[in-house]
């Protein structure tokens, strides 16, 4: 069965410094991997997705993630944090079949705080 582990429940960075949110996954098949962001009282917004193409995936707002099969990791990074990046981030895996997307398995989330 597939699962996702987000290694940090809370990460705090200063504005302008790099962001690293860590995620490890477990999957029986070739997974699709996603990062979603949730701002307070808002819905889930897709940041980026990996679907077996390029292992370095670029997303919105300057975020990117690298799929490393040997390490079963899909860490999210951003070179320079902005105050507006403060939110909760979810690493998500789905196992796709027959060309259709499977159900999503969410990690517990990492709350990112950005200090001025």
Partner 1 sequence: EPEVTQTPSHQVTQMGQEVILRCVPISNHLYFYWYRQILGQKVEFLVSFYNNEISEKSEIFDDQFSVERPDGSNFTLKIRSTKLEDSAMYFCASTPNYGYTFGSGTRLTVV
Listed in order, strand segments (DSSP E) in the chain are 3-6, 10-14, 19-21, 23-26, 32-38, 44-50, 56-58, 64-68, 73-78, 87-94, 104-106, 110-115
Q: Which stretch binds partner 1 (CB under 8 A): 10-18, 58-66, 79-87, 104-112?
A: 104-112
Query: Judged by CB under 8 A, which of 107, 110, 112, 114 binds partner 1?
Result: 107
Count the site residues for partner 1 by CB under 8 A: 19
Tell me if 108 contacts partner 1 by CB under 8 A: yes
Pairing of strands 10-14, 110-115: parallel
Of residues 16-55, those binding partner 1 (CB under 8 A): 36, 42-46, 49
- Site of interaction with partner 1 (CB under 8 A): 36, 42-46, 49, 90, 96, 99-101, 103-109
């Amino acid at each position: 069965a597939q699962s996702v582990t987000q290694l940090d429940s809370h990460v705090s960075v200063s504005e302008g410094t790099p962001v690293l949110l860590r995620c490890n996954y477990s999957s029986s098949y070739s997974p699709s991997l996603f990062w979603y962001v949730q701002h307070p009282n808002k819905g889930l917004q897709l940041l980026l997705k990996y679907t077996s193409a390029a292992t370095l995936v670029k997303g919105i707002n300057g975020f990117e993630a690298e799929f490393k099969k040997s390490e079963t990791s899909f860490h999210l990074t951003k070179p320079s944090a902005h105050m507006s990046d403060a939110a909760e981030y979810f690493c998500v895996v789905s196992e796709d079949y027959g060309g259709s997307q499977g159900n999503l398995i969410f990690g517990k989330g990492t709350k990112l705080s950005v200090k001025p």
